[in-house]
Amino acid sequence: MLGLDPVAARLFLPFVLLIGLYVSWTDLKGMRIPNASVVTLALVFVVLGPFVLPFEIYGWRLVHLVVVLVLGFALTVAGVMGAGDAKFLAAAAPYVALVDLRLMFMLLAATMLAAFATHRAAKHTALRRLAPDWESWERSRDFPMGTALSTALTLYVALAAFS
């Protein structure tokens, strides 16, 4: 059993899935994660969380958002990650129970490897013709990390929903 309550996860899942798909697409297409998608992801938790989580858990999960936002800002300033990735991680943080952090890191590692391999393979095959105007094809050093981040969050919430 995961730390995210299955009832809460079932409520969050459709929103996380749709926002995640949008984040993936915008990051692949334009190498950016729109602020509106990050704010929406955070608002879904802020608005729906009190209805499905005990108040104490809900409050601590909001602390996750602030802590990850501060850490993400520091990593962005240091040039380790993009600002959109840092903001997405902060907005996603309240959904993840602290006891599930190890699982979340494993999911993130797996989705990063899968997204990178898939993106690079598609970039050098005929699949690229399906979306010839994507900015991510042109970047050799940068990678659209929003794809891996949103997939990891969606998988985590789905695992909790059906556990």
Question: Residue 39: its pLDDT value, please?
Answer: 98
> Which tokens belong to 122?
């598609």
Q: How far apart are CA 35 and CA 40, in angstroms?
A: 8
Which pLDDT belongs to residue 139? Answer: 86
E strands along the chain, which residues? Answer: none
d(CA 50, CA 48): 6
What's the pLDDT score for residue 126?
A: 86
* Of 114, 106, 117, nearest in space to 159 by CA: 106
Global pTM reads: 0.95
The pLDDT assigned to 53 comes to 97
Q: What is the pLDDT of residue 152?
A: 98
d(CA 21, CA 12): 14
Model pLDDT, residue 12? 98
pLDDT at 147: 96
pLDDT tens string, the chain, 163 residues long: the values are 899 999 999 999 999 999 999 999 999 999 999 999 999 999 999 999 999 999 999 999 999 999 999 999 999 999 999 999 999 999 999 999 999 999 999 999 999 999 999 999 998 888 888 898 999 998 888 899 999 999 999 999 999 999 8
- CB-count burial class (<10 Å; 0-12, 13-18, 19+) for 81: middle
| Closest C-alpha to 48, from 104, 87, 94 | 94
